């Protein structure tokens, strides 16, 4: 990658991804785009262009003007939000993806878009979920993600577009607050531990799901995109993960730092139903073998990093 355009640059992953790319590749070689400009990040605010990913002509215009060699398509609605308005989710997640793939095809760009553990379903093996396995999700988000994986494979096979992707687990960050995901409790719990000393969790305490700290997620995108394509026998999308954890585990780890911290449970049936269809742990060995994926943050390090950062941010 030398010159990069990003959709959804102010989203859950996009903000920190854009920051890291500007640092590595130079501010003038990264063009962030989103549907709004609401950010406290001055570097991004000075560069960002308005783009609704459903607007192909605007996307094509920005690419023609900026002349990138890579598009990182991060714009999407997340799991719980998709269930509230499934038709809007299809419009943004799928029509936006088709537009980005078409732009990549026309302008011969390298292409990345994330999939998710939400692409799995009830019939997927729950533990040590394989890289290649049955995928029959029963949520609109899951349908979008598995359809996106197949569509990216199609563009690679049919048109030779250099498509790449990963299946992200739940992502944890102190920069961006939650945006409608089923794993959002793993961010909320840290914010509330510092702000109020207590948290009401919307998932059952023993609900195990895969998680990852945002720095590992950002590094994974860059590492995959910089990998020699001859090393890749898989394109869309690699399983990646760092930890398998439950609300109870996060609670126990936080109490080591904040002994008086308390957690109660008020289960949201919509998000619990979604979580119950996702894996408890996934096998990321192919990502490690093919492009050297290796997360740096375990539960202990995630907890300390989040609490230390939020003590400063929320003081």
Q: Which active-site residues does the annotation give?
A: 141
User: In angstroms, rounded to a whole number, what is the distance separating the alpha carbons of residues 145 and 152?
Assistant: 11
Asked whether 218 and 13 are in contact (CB, 8 A), the reply is: yes
Angle at Cα 190 formed by Cα 186 and Cα 195, nearest 5°? 140
Residue 201, CA distances (Å) to 141, 193, 198 in order: 22, 12, 10
Buried b (16+ CB within 10 A) or exposed e, 177-206: ebebbbbbbbbbbbbbbbeeeebebbbeee
Q: In the structure encoding, which two tokens stand for residue 185, read together?
A: 């409790």
Whether 81 contacts 91, CB under 8 Å: no
64 C-beta neighbours (distance < 10 Å), count: 11
Residues ≥6 apart with Cβ < 8 Å to 46: none
Directed axis angle between helix 185-195 and helix 299-313, to 10°? 50
101: Cβ contacts below 8 Å, ≥ 6 apart: 111, 151, 152, 155, 161, 163
The enclosing H or E element of 259 equals: none
3-state secondary structure of 204: coil
* Contact between 270 and 80 (Cβ < 8 Å): yes
CB atoms within 10 A of CB 23: 11
């Amino acid at each position: 990658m030398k010159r990069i355009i990003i959709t959804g640059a102010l989203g859950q992953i996009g903000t920190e991804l854009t920051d890291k790319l500007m640092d590595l590749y130079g501010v003038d070689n990264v063009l962030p785009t989103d549907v709004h400009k609401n950010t406290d990040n001055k570097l991004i605010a000075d560069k960002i262009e308005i783009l609704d990913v459903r607007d192909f002509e605007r996307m094509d215009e920005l690419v023609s003007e900026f002349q990138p060699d890579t598009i990182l398509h991060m714009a999407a609605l997340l799991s719980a939000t998709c269930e509230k308005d499934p038709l809007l989710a299809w419009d943004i997640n799928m029509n936006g993806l088709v537009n980005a793939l078409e732009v990549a095809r026309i302008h011969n760009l390298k292409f990345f878009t994330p999939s998710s553990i939400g692409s799995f379903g009830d019939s997927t093996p729950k533990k040590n979920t394989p890289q290649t396995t049955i995928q029959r999700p029963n949520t609109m988000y899951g349908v979008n993600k598995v359809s996106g994986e197949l569509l990216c494979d199609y563009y690679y096979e049919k048109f030779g577009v250099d498509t790449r992707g990963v299946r992200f687990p739940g992502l944890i960050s102190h920069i961006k607050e939650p945006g409608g995901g089923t794993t959002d409790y793993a961010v909320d719990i840290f914010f509330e531990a510092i702000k109020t000393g207590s948290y009401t969790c919307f998932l059952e305490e023993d609900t195990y799901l895969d998680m990852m700290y945002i720095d590992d997620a950002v590094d994974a995108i860059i590492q995959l995109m910089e990998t020699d394509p001859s090393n890749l026998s898989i394109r869309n999308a690699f399983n990646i993960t760092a930890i398998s954890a439950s609300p109870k585990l996060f609670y126990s780890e936080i109490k080591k730092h904040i002994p008086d911290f308390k957690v109660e449970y008020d289960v949201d049936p919509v998000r619990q139903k979604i979580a119950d269809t996702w894996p408890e742990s996934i096998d990321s060995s192919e990502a490690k073998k093919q492009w050297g994926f290796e997360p740096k943050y375990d539960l202990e390090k995630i907890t300390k990093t989040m609490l230390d950062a939020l003590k400063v941010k929320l003081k």
